[in-house]
Amino acid sequence: MERRIQLRDELLLQHPYLLFLLVVIGFLVMDPFDLSPVGGLDFRPVRNHVAPYNQVMESWPRDNRSRLGQGNLEFVDEIFGPESLEFDRWGRGPYTGLADGRIVRWMGKDVGWETFALVTHNWTEKLCVKGKDSTTSKQWKVEQQCGRPLGLRFDKQTGNLYIADSYYGLLVVRPEGGIATPLSTEVEGKPILFANDLDIHRNGSIFFTDTSKRYNRVNHFFILLEGDSSGRLLRYDPPTGTTHVVLEGLAFPNGVQLSKDHNFLLYTETTNCRLMKYWLEGPKSGSIELVANLPGFPDNVRLNEKGEFWVAIDCCRTKIQETLIQNPWMRNIYFRLPIPMRYLARMVGMKMYTVISLFNEKGEILDVLEDRKGKVMKLVSEVRELNGKLWIGTVAHNHIATINYP
Ligand SMILES: *[C@@H]1O[C@H](CO)[C@@H](O)[C@H](O)[C@H]1NC(C)=O
Ligand SMILES: *[C@@H]1O[C@H](CO)[C@@H](O)[C@H](O)[C@H]1NC(C)=O
Ligand SMILES: *[C@@H]1O[C@H](CO)[C@@H](O)[C@H](O)[C@H]1NC(C)=O
């Protein structure tokens, strides 16, 4: 033992550059001036159980024609970060939540886009509206005040619109719009930090995801980096006005979708790159099951009229990402380097493209559409199939993509 230490010391002394390098790296990793992306945060990377990429790709169909690349971009620079797309019972829409906190709807060419609802009385045009900059970091400072509506669902019976807002929790607004009423902003006595998506059970219960107990939406990248698994599936119970924890310990729970006959629901776990099932009825009631490991990071899930599920995926994991996912200590060092996150992320090879896939109730893949060159969409959040057309939302860009389907 002693001899080994001695040897190491000698080695270092004989190689002063090596010693210097170690000291510099040590200093950087300690990040005394909080210059790194995680500076000032209680960053605690953990290991995640993500299926190896090569294994997933063995059975994952490819879209060699890159069909999604033939889609159209609509409403370019007219709407900002439309994540979720919804249509009302008269078929009007899309309705969508924007990065500036508004919920807007398309009323046809003559009227155009109109503001339909807001999630807070505090919203003002002066404070919140930043146009094309709404989807950039310029919005981050005011996002918490202005709101960030992500998941939208109409109750087809009443015409009320339910909203999952990152900051304002679960809300509802009447069919004529206006300021939404909060339904659920806390659970077990603590505020909900990051409501993300919802679906409405036929008995009135509302299932919604709460992505993390530790990070809000502006800091969502750290949930991925850290592997934070404090996310939950919640249920709001209208008769009692109470909110219940259905599932906890989830890694970035994101989209949620009930099956056609409501005997199960699907949810995505973004960090773990997978699609999960939670049984509500039958012999397996209350249990969860893996539906599919995915090649990239999933967002929302939406049902089509046949009872099949569209999943929006940001693709694909790279080798370096995979190594980082499996080795928390590497993430601990890497993301403590005092280099801006965008460079660190670029070096990890985050050149994403979009993949959308259609699953049946059994979890079999029915179709996969890709835009491998990222021509039409660089990031997808949700796919809605309606009247022979797919409507595709994106939380990070200023347009909606459409493509005829099938
Ligand atoms: C797509 O391309 C891959 C290799 O590039 C090939 O293995 C596969 O068979 C092709 N699929 C189809 C449907 O043509
Ligand atoms: C809304 O504005 C009021 C008055 O300025 C302030 O007290 C309150 O904290 C604000 N609410 C939020 C959620 O920002
Ligand atoms: C509605 O259904 C959900 C899911 O099965 C269940 O948890 C909840 O208790 C039901 N609510 C009522 C009021 O029956």
DSSP 127-158: HH--GGGGGSGGGHHHHHHH--EEEEEE-TTT
pLDDT tens-digit map of 150-163:
999 999 999 999 99
Mean pLDDT of the chain: 89
The answer to which of 16-20, 188-192, 209-213 has the lowest mean pLDDT is: 16-20
**Given pLDDT bands bounded at 50, 70 and 90, which one contains residue 11?**
low
Q: 2 falls in which pLDDT band (50, 70, 90)? A: very low
How far away, in angstroms, is 181 Cα from ligand 2 center?
16
Ligand 3 atom index nearest CA of 246? 7
Q: For the sheet with 178-179, list strands across it.
A: 85-86, 95-97, 102-106, 113-118, 178-179
Q: Is 203's C-beta closer than 6 angstroms to any atom of ligand 3?
A: yes
Atom of ligand 2 nearest to the CA of 120: 13
pLDDT surpasses 80 at 347: no
| C-alpha angle 114-118-121 in degrees, rounded to nearest 5 | 135
Q: Sorting pLDDT into bands at 50, 70 and 90, what band is 14?
A: low
The verdict on the CB of residue 265 being under 6 Å from ligand 3 is: no
pLDDT digits (tens, 9 = 90+) for 258-279: 999 999 999 999 999 999 999 9
For the full predicted model, state whether its pTM sits above 0.75.
yes
Who contacts 1 (Cβ-Cβ below 8 Å, separation ≥6)? none
Segment 14-23 shows an average pLDDT of 61
C-alpha 57 to ligand 1 mean position (Å): 12
Ligand 3 atom 5: the closest Cα is on which residue?
280
User: Which of 41 and 359 is assigned the larger pLDDT?
Assistant: 359
**241-257: average pLDDT:** 97
Q: What residue segments make up the domains of the chain, in order of their start?
A: 61-316+352-404
pLDDT given at position 227: 86
Q: What is the pLDDT of residue 106?
A: 98
Protein residue with its CA nearest to atom 8 in ligand 2: 122
Angle among Cα 283, 284, 287 to the nearest 5 degrees reads 155
Cα(130) to centroid(ligand 2), Å = 20
Residue 162: CB partners within 8 Å, gap ≥ 6?
152, 153, 154, 155, 170, 171, 172, 183, 198, 200, 206
For a substitution probing ligand 1, which of 64, 365, 368, 370 has the most ligand atoms within 8 Å of its CB?
64
**Ligand 1 pocket, Cβ-based, cut-off 6 angstroms:** 62, 64
* Ligand 3 atom 13 nearest Cα: 203
Query: Alpha-carbon distance 386 to 382, whole Å?
Result: 13
CA 195/CA 87 separation, integer angstroms: 21
Residue to substitute in 122, 127, 186 for testing ligand 2 pocket (most ligand atoms within 8 angstroms of CB): 122
Which residues approach ligand 2 with their CB closer than 6 A?
A: 120, 122, 145
Q: Quick one: DSSP state of residue 180?
A: P
Q: Minimum-distance ligand to the CA of 280?
A: 3
Which of 26-35, 235-244, 316-325, 370-379 is predicted most confidently?
235-244
What pLDDT digit, counting tens, does each position of 163-206 carry? 999 999 999 999 999 999 999 999 999 999 999 999 999 999 99
Q: How far apart are CA 106 and CA 101, in angstroms?
A: 16
Write the residue with the smallest CA distance to atom 1 of ligand 2: 122
- Which atom of ligand 3 lies at the shortest distance from residue 235's CA? 7
User: Which residues, in sequence order, are CB contacts of 4 under 8 Å at separation 6+?
Assistant: none
Report the atom number in ligand 3 closest to the C-alpha of 244.
7
Mean pLDDT in residue range 15-34:
60
CA of 279 to the centre of ligand 3 (A): 12
Strand pairing partners for 106? 113
Q: Is residue 397 over pLDDT 60?
A: yes
State both tokens at 160.
């009320």
pLDDT computed for residue 329 by the predictor: 76
Closest residue CA from atom 12 of ligand 2: 145
Closest residue by CA, ligand 1 atom 7:
62
What distance in angstroms lies between residue 22's CA and the mean position of ligand 3's atoms? 58
Find residue 163's DSSP bridge partners.
152, 171
What does the pLDDT look like over 101-140, one tens digit per residue? Answer: 999 999 999 999 999 999 999 999 999 999 999 999 899 9
How big is the CA angle at 350 (ends 344 and 356), to the nearest 5 degrees?
155
| CATH C-level class of 61-316+352-404 | mainly beta
Do the strands 178-179 and 113-118 form a parallel or antiparallel pair, or are they unpaired? parallel
Nearest-atom index, ligand 1, CA of 64: 1
pLDDT value at position 1?
45
User: How much is the pLDDT for 346?
Assistant: 67
